[in-house]
Structure 1
Amino acid sequence: MADKDKKKSVDPVTFVRQVEAEGRKVTWTSPSETIQATIMVVIMSILVALFLFMADQIIGVLIRMLTGLGA
């Protein structure tokens, strides 16, 4: 149990080598995949913004009709 409580100390050189080794394992996206994903995020953001705007407008009209305000 005492062994589990002790933290392993790693010297900085070993740490840097381990970080580099892990970095080589990463699969990076191609520039075209990155651009395609960015375009999709922008399109979805615009669609969500339009949906929320329309929902807000409709709810506002309904509230004004129910309360008689703004007539």
Structure 2
Amino acid sequence: MAKKPPSTPTVDSARKGAVAPVAAARAAGSEAVTPKKRTSPAKFFSEVRQEARKITWTSRKETWITTVMVFIMVVVACAFFYIVDGGLGFAVNSLINIGR
């Protein structure tokens, strides 16, 4: 049993060689393709509020613990870079002073 070849998509006359989106979707097998309708601003903000209600917010305790951990890591990073910078500075100064 031979397969029926897909219908050829139409070419948008404004753009030579470009396939019209609706025709391309129909050629891909989508039957009911309609352009999206515009949403009113009131409906948009209503949907935004619905999505915002789905967010899981952290508790005050979780936020405090995370903040303290960030500050601890900043102090550790500062100490590390201070030590490395001091060591490299000492090494470079030693190399420079050897030649004198």
* TM-score class, shorter: 0.7 to 0.9
Superposition map of 1:44-63 within 5 A: 44-63=73-92
For residues 10 and 57 of structure 1, do their structure 2 counterparts lie closer, same or farther at Cα, with a shift above 3 Å needed? same
Q: TM-score, normalised by structure 2?
A: 0.60
Rg larger in structure: 2
**Residue deviations 1:13-63, cap 9 Å, x none?**
011011101100100001000000000000001100110111111000000
State the match for 1:29 in structure 2. Answer: 58
Richer in helix (by share): 1
Instruction: Measure the CA separation in 2 of the matches of 1:59 and 1:36.
Output: 35
Unmatched 5+ residue regions in structure 2? Answer: 1-20, 26-34
Q: TM-score, normalised by structure 1?
A: 0.83
The alignment covers a number of residue pairs equal to: 69
State the match for 1:18 in structure 2. Answer: 47
Unmatched 5+ residue regions in structure 1? Answer: none
Identity of aligned residues (%): 33
